[in-house]
Amino acid sequence: MKQQLSAPVHSFGARAVVDFNLDQGSFDLYIDSILVLKDGYAQAIVDGQLLNTKAYEKHHIAKKPISDDKYPSKGTVVEVRHQKSGSPTIVQHFYIFDEQPYIVTELQIIGDNLSSRSISPIVAEAQNPQEGSQSFMKVPYDNDTFIRYDTDVVQAGITSQSAEVSSLYNNETRKGLVIGSLSQSLWKTGILIEWTDRQGAQIEALNGFVDAEITRDSILHGLVKADTLKSSRVFVGYYNDWRSGMSQYAEQLKIETPRYVQSSFETPYSWNSWGAVQTKLNLENASAVVDFFADSIPYFRNNGVAYIGLDSYWDNMIDGGLEGDFSKLREFADYCRKKGLKPGIYWAPFVDWFKENRRVEGSQYEYEDVWTKTGNRYHDIDGARAMDPTHPATRARIDLVIDKFNDIGFKLIKIDFIGHASVEANSFYDKNVSTGMQAFHSGMQYLIDKIDNKMLIYVAISPSLATYPYAHSRRIACDAYADIAATEYTLNSTTYGWWLGDLYDFIDADHIVFGKEEIAVNRARLSSAIINGTITLGDDYSVQSKAVQHAKELLNNPTLLQLSMDGEAFIPVEHKEDGEASEVFVKHVDTNLHYIAIMNYHARKQYKLPLSRLNIPSGNYQMLEVYSGIEHLGQLDQGFETIVGARDSKLFILRKKK
């Protein structure tokens, strides 16, 4: 039963209904008649003063039809204008859609010469309209320092925070709230929550969020100055399946923040030298890897294409530094093309690894002119020093290197450590830029313009959401190598971040290294790539090894390789309260074709999977376990059962028979 606010109340919407209390300067949000947010308001710190819509004296409301063609359905824009003598005017906009289970809201603060580091478009009591425990998903800002996605279970007195977006959900019923920022162009946003009791929590969408362990910032968020301060737009929805909500959030983010790159590439199948060759990279072993791909795993292609990518230490193959002789790199690229493969390269355009003052290549500036200053120090992380992405020397170096890469004809570029370009700094060369997010977008747009759509852009260490306009493919987690722990770590990110595949063209599981592991572990390692939707291999295929034999055994299976050729990620089936990766993932190709991936990180185990949890209809199915090739026909009524050995994986194709 819908609760009533004290008069005067103004209600708007159909599936999502917002009740505005003009006595209190607050609102309640109902979705499908369920109270989701209670006593909501907006606040900001402007010129050192805390402003709060509930503390204002006058509140005026107006409405008009949504006329913005970027929104998916008809609806109403409600404007609530709050006024107080001697204070700036606060204006809230609520986009309420006729047929959608979510709203979009934004905040404006209007005055003269205003400044702020902190704007919260939403502060509210998040309700728990269901029985059972709730989990709060903690999304990392980036994929650096082997950070993991995590969850906190509702407990009174506990506080949690998530970067840009989160969900408050019940794993058993899958019902849940999704709330997130729809723009990362100006502000870093945190979703902050403080549990009050099992029935609810105080939740806040905070523009101006910084945290040394999450956003990597060591100083306050940059100061935003304007006559009209604007927040990011914020998405709030409630879903019977919170996983659907995360996908709808991603789709709305794409509408609000359009892509900057063109999407015109096949799902990438590739090799990357950092998996095993690493610092030993040279023309001879790189060419031997090309031979292995050409001669030993001819099926490892997507539409005839595979990339051979040189990672860090490709400079072993040049003479005279970045301004020197690149002829060996050209020889490598030519050899790839001769063997029917596409050459790939690597670069970290916004960091300095040497951290010693010298001339910036391609410019007349010194590196100390370009290093990003944060407080009384430079910004160093991962052994690299951040460079100001707006500085002309940074851009001159980009011109120098990307021109060489394009001239040689590289077709894939792995861009790394671009999170360094997003840190809050004392100042930037471009005085129109005052926040880390502004600097990041300025630098990335310059880089992408220079690449000129000549290479598939794959990003590694990077902000999870802010990067998507600039990349075709993104690594889902941090570096992962050759054991079951690496597989579980990677799939932790997929378990909670599979929806990033709705933003990027492709997400991947990093380089798949088989190393010296047993075949069962390597099946699981390969499955982690297939679950994410692309495959990047990482072993040293220039020498004979156990990994080479496993590659020949596993990668000459066209049926296996076809599971990821569409580039679509699998969806996690269950979410554990301790944040461990899901063991079961599913992909629905169409109503009659389904893929099931089972990952056993521990001892031998029997799996009994209800069809209702898999979202697979009952019926008569032709079932193939892809690794073993075992196939049978059977009726599935309630569930799907199988046994998976210790630290192993199974992949099933279920095709419904008429």
Pair 84, 225 in one domain: yes
3-state helix, strand, coil in the chain (%, to 5): 25, 35, 40
Please choose, from the candidates 212, 258, 265, 233, the residue with its C-alpha nearest in 3D space to the C-alpha of residue 412.
Answer: 265
* pLDDT number for residue 247: 97
d(CA 294, CA 541): 12
Pair 238, 129 in one domain: yes
* pLDDT number for residue 197: 66
Residue 140, preceding bond cis, omega within 30 degrees? no
d(CA 648, CA 628): 12
Strand partners, 595: 587, 653
User: Which of 256, 291, 318 is where one domain is finished?
Assistant: 256
Written as six digits, the tokens of 39 are 């006593």
Q: Phi/psi of residue 410, each to 5°?
A: -65, 140
pLDDT tens, 213-236?
A: 999 999 999 999 999 999 999 999
Q: What is the overall mean pLDDT for the chain? A: 95
Residue 239 is assigned to a structural domain of this protein: yes
Pair 238, 354 in one domain: no
Pair 229, 353 in one domain: no
pLDDT tens, 310-355?
A: 999 999 999 999 999 999 999 999 999 999 999 999 999 999 999 9
**Band of residue 1 on the pLDDT scale cut at 50, 70, 90:** very low
Cβ–Cβ < 8 Å for 253, 150? no
Specify the number of domains making up the chain: 2
Pair 112, 245 in one domain: yes
d(CA 426, CA 441): 17
Residue 395 is assigned to a structural domain of this protein: yes
pLDDT tens, 454-513?
A: 999 999 999 999 999 999 999 999 999 999 999 999 999 999 999 999 999 999 999 999
pLDDT tens, 351-403?
A: 999 999 999 999 999 999 999 999 999 999 999 999 999 999 999 999 999 99
Pair 246, 366 in one domain: no
Residue 404 is assigned to a structural domain of this protein: yes
d(CA 577, CA 585): 17
* pLDDT number for residue 69: 74
Q: What is the CATH number for 152?
A: 2.70.98.10
Q: Which structural domain range is residue 116 located in?
A: 9-256
Residue 572 is assigned to a structural domain of this protein: no
* pLDDT number for residue 74: 87
User: Which of 256, 272, 301 is where one domain is finished?
Assistant: 256
User: Which of 232, 256, 280 is where one domain is finished?
Assistant: 256
pLDDT tens, 65-96?
A: 998 777 767 899 999 999 999 999 999 999 99
* pLDDT number for residue 4: 45
Beta strand 159-163 with 75-83 is unpaired
d(CA 647, CA 600): 5
**Band of residue 168 on the pLDDT scale cut at 50, 70, 90:** very high
Q: What is the DSSP letter of 408?
A: H
* pLDDT number for residue 3: 47
Pair 353, 227 in one domain: no
Q: How many CB atoms lie within 10 A of CB 173?
A: 13
Residue 138 is assigned to a structural domain of this protein: yes
User: What is the identity of the amino acid at 113?
Assistant: N
Residue 533 is assigned to a structural domain of this protein: no
**Band of residue 133 on the pLDDT scale cut at 50, 70, 90:** confident
Q: What is the pTM of this model?
A: 0.95
Is the pLDDT at 156 greater than 80? The verdict is: no
Residue 295 is assigned to a structural domain of this protein: no
Residue 419 is assigned to a structural domain of this protein: yes
Written as six digits, the tokens of 537 are 């291999």
Pair 245, 355 in one domain: no
pLDDT tens, 404-425?
A: 999 999 999 999 999 999 999 9
Pair 362, 465 in one domain: yes
Pair 20, 156 in one domain: yes
* pLDDT number for residue 131: 67
Is the pLDDT at 125 greater than 70? The verdict is: yes
Q: What is the CATH number for 444?
A: 3.20.20.70
Q: Which residue has the higher pLDDT, 576 or 478?
A: 478
